[in-house]
Amino acid sequence: MIHADLQRIFIYERDAIWPTMELIVRIAKVFEVSVDYLIRDDGELPGTKIRIHELFKYLEEFDHLPKEAQKFAFSLLDSFTKRRKFEELIQT
C-alpha cells in the first residue's frame, strides 16, 4: 500500500529520519487523513477541537443524505447536546 518496509517504518517511528513527502502523502491517503494531521504533534485535526476522528467520516456522509434525514439527524444531535448541557447545569 505505502511501499515502505518494516525496518524503514521503525526508523520513522523512532524519529531517526522523516519519510519523504511522497510517502507522507501515500500514508495520508491510506488512513484517509490530511498530511497536516500526520505531521502535527497534538493529534488533533487542524482547525478543530473534535477528538473523535470517526465523526468526520460520518459528517462527510451526512452531506449525501436526503434533506429530511439530515433534519432528523440534526434534531437527534441537538437533543443529546441539550441533555448534556442540562445535566451539567443541575450537577453544579
- In 3-state terms, what secondary structure has residue 8? helix
How far out from the chain centre does Cα 19 lie? 21
* Whole-model pTM over 0.85: no
Quick count: other Cβ atoms within 10 Å of Cβ 17?
Answer: 9
pLDDT in tens, the chain (92 residues): 677 777 887 787 787 888 888 888 888 888 878 888 777 766 555 555 666 777 777 777 888 889 999 889 888 888 988 888 888 878 76
The three cell numbers of residue 34 are 490530511
